[in-house]
Amino acid sequence: MARKKKEQEQNKPKVNTDHVVGLVGSTTEQAITETLEINYMPYAMSVIVSRAIPEIDGFKPSHRKLLYTMYKMGLLKKDRVKSANIVGQTMQLNPHGDAAIYETMVRLAKGNETLLHPFVDSKGNFGKVYSRDMAYAASRYTEAKLDAICEEIFKDIDSDTVDMVDNYDGSLKEPSLLPTTFPNVLVSANQGIAVGMASNICSFNLKEVCETAIALMDNPDHDILETLPGPDFSTGAELLFDEAATREIYQTGRGSFKLRAKWRYVKEGNLIEITQIPYSTAAEVILDKVSDMIKSGKVKEIADMRDESDLGGLKLTIDLKRGADPDKLMQRLFRQTPLQDTFACNFNILIAGMPKVMGVGEILEEWTAWRMDCIKRRLFFQIGKKEERLHLLKGLERILLDIDKAIRIIRETELESEVIPNLMIGFGIDEVQANYVAEIKLRNINKEYILRQTRAIEDLEREIAELQDILGSSRKVKGVIKKELKAVAEKYGQPRKTEIIYQTEQIEPEDEGEDIPDYPVTLFVSKEGYIKKITAQSLRMSGEQKFKEGDSLEFSVETTNRAELLVFTNQYQCYKTRLSDFEDGKASLLGDYLPQKLGMEPGESVVQVLLPGDYKGHVLFFFENGKAAKVPLSAYETKTNRKKLTGAYCDKSPLKTAMVLTADEPVAVYTTDGRAAVFSTAQLLPKTTRNTQGVSVVSLKKKAAVSFVTTAAKSGIVNLSRYRTRTLPTAGALLKEEDSPDKQISFEV
């Protein structure tokens, strides 16, 4: 029987249930595409539009509902209240549960350190953004209120600046956007994963964002990189600047930044302290990775690594074994652990309910247009209120002509319902004005009170005219926005937390564990960029130096094999290398061609080669346009063996020469029109940025340029006082024949 029953089951016709939906006991076939369209698309759109993607005010709906609830609770002025109380009140606007609401509050809180400018002033344990395992306390233990900066996001919210919409059950009204007076969408970091799309917006410095927004309003062709050099993260760390990648992100809204931890070596304890890590990682992730490397034997220089973070902030400590090189170790950890990480950008923002990926310029343009609409709505609201007040006062002015008549009309009217019509007829005023007059207290029906009230008529008329004038001019509306941006930048602007390291390309590191031998060498550099490193023994045995036809010696100097070189090129880049990277040569050989050896770009050639030594002095740049720049050598100091730095010096004029300056001394500058000037480098103030334009030192006549620069001691000028000047810029003095640079050899470094 069992066998027969089994055969019957197998012989039953099979039903394809892949496309079956319907009530219990009934089936209906439906194409999978129709199912997706009817059932899945509304869900996907809800996640995109109402949950995961931020809007132009910089907030997701969950952020907006929480902050607006706190605003209505009066927490902008009142003391902190229990977080659980806030969470409970927020559930009137946000139906997603108390846990989700509290997580939102934690992220916005000052204690969590997720945002550069937190919106929630918190008290208690809110965890840390840089810790994966540090759990925040329950909402019943913590307290919160709105931070002072929230004055800028709720400013004029009661002046009809934004639309108010129903909450999920229609019982309350909430704002569709918050009228932020600054581009919060770029100031607050935001991340969201929707259905089929995502958003990842890095944070920028508030002051720099406000300056950029103002600059773009003044000039739509403004170079954003001049006022917004890069993102700024709440965890600090270092940003490895790559101009091409940064411009791509600013243009398209997509790309990535490289971030690196900040560290210092403590010689007393032979240890390394890491005090800031990339925003995109956590302390525990780093500790786990280093621990794995130690266990597998990949790192032998570390005795111990631990987390010593406390109330003072993050601190990861690495105990080094004797003889370990901290620089080499950190470069290795940067390559193999999240101590150097990447932040991927995807500036996806909802604009009028539609997701759109935009660059920084386009975001600020959209924000400005939206903010202009907010300002116009505020002006309409203010004009309406003032016109209402003016209308009432003009009605009051009418009864000033005959106060006794107004009293008589009210006293002689038998029915209360006829008081308003009788006043309207008696003074020719409308119902609103008549109601206002009728509600005046008996004690105020006197000439002095009415005169005092009606004096405001002229002021109101003038104020309304001024507001209407602003409303009718886009330029003046932008002026209001710029004024607000300047006020916000001044009041809430902070120094950058993330330091920008101006380097874009790391060249292959030196071999681990291999000591570089150090011995005396003589360096020869030719005018066309050939370099020779010759040992003392080989130099004694060699004859005349060989150069390519048409080439000659630029300079030679005695140094050591471990010495570093800075190679400046005609494309405003600087290559850093060591002499140990070059083979020992002979006088009879041409040597290594620097553009080929350093992998320079096509058309790139060597302008100057410098030996920076211990990076304690300055680099002195002289340009053909008569300007000079004094830049600290430390601006070119890097951790790895070799790097290429873009924007190494100013690109406004061709570089004539550069020299290392360990102490201030007189220099001689020659020009193409037969003049020379001698001045002390102490007259030049050091500049903080590498690509500074410098200051004018020589006033050049038309078609003249700087032709030659050297130290006064090497210039061979017979009478230095003839050319010396104490004021800059200077026109210099006409050269005498005996002081001509033609008789001088090229100066040595």
Our answer to whether residue 40 is catalytic in this structure is no
Average pLDDT, the chain: 86
Q: What is the pLDDT of residues 690-727, one digit of tens each?
A: 888 888 889 888 888 998 888 888 888 888 888 888 88
* Tokens 């080439």 belong to residue: 551
Would the pLDDT of 569 be above 70?
Answer: yes
Identify the CA nearest to 142 among candidates 159, 158, 127, 157.
127
Domains held by the chain: number: 4
Confidence at residue 639, expressed as pLDDT on a 0 to 100 scale: 56
Are residue 481 and residue 547 in the same domain, yes or no? no
List the CATH number of the domain containing 399.
1.10.268.10
pTM as predicted:
0.66
Q: Which of 40, 141, 168, 519 is labelled catalytic?
A: 141
Q: What is the pLDDT of residues 250-285, one digit of tens each?
A: 999 999 999 999 999 998 889 999 999 999 999 999
Q: Is residue 202 part of a domain?
A: no
Q: How many CA atoms lie within 13 A of 521 on its CB side?
A: 24
Q: How many CB atoms lie within 10 A of CB 422?
A: 17
Q: Is residue 112 part of a domain?
A: yes
Exposure string (b/e) for 111-143, b if CB count within 10 Å is 16 or more? bbbbbbbbbbbbbbbbbbbbbeebebeebeebb
Q: Are 639 and 593 in contact (CB under 8 A)?
A: no
Last residue of a domain, one of 465, 492, 519: 492
Q: What is the 3-state secondary structure (H, E, C) of 642-654?
A: CEEECCCCCCCCC
Q: Is residue 587 part of a domain?
A: yes
Confidence at residue 298, expressed as pLDDT on a 0 to 100 scale: 83
Confidence at residue 7, expressed as pLDDT on a 0 to 100 scale: 52
Q: Which domain holds residue 478?
A: 367-492
3-state secondary structure of 456: helix
Those residues with Cβ within 8 angstroms of residue 502's Cβ, 6 or more apart along the chain or in another chain: 241, 635, 645, 646, 647, 690
List the CATH number of the domain containing 711.
2.120.10.90
Confidence at residue 515, expressed as pLDDT on a 0 to 100 scale: 53
Are residue 514 and residue 584 in the same domain, yes or no? yes
Task: Record the tokens describing residue 88, joined without a space.
Answer: 């409970």
Q: Is residue 658 part of a domain?
A: yes
Selected residue with higher pLDDT from 690 and 180 = 180
Q: Is residue 296 part of a domain?
A: yes
Task: Evaluate the CA torsion angle 360, 366, 369, 370 in order and state its sign.
Answer: negative
Those residues with Cβ within 8 angstroms of residue 747's Cβ, 6 or more apart along the chain or in another chain: 555, 659, 710, 711, 714
Task: Record the tokens describing residue 263, joined without a space.
Answer: 């560290």
List the CATH number of the domain containing 165.
3.90.199.10
Last residue of a domain, one of 459, 492, 525: 492
Q: What is the pLDDT of residues 501-540, one digit of tens each?
A: 885 444 344 444 345 677 888 888 888 888 988 888 887 7
3-state secondary structure of 623: strand
Task: Evaluate the CA torsion angle 176, 178, 184, 189 in order and state its sign.
Answer: negative
Which of the residue ranges 17-31, 138-152, 285-299 would you say has the lowest mean pLDDT?
17-31
Most confident of 1-5, 21-25, 122-126, 421-425: 122-126
β-strand partners of 230: none
Confidence at residue 198, expressed as pLDDT on a 0 to 100 scale: 85
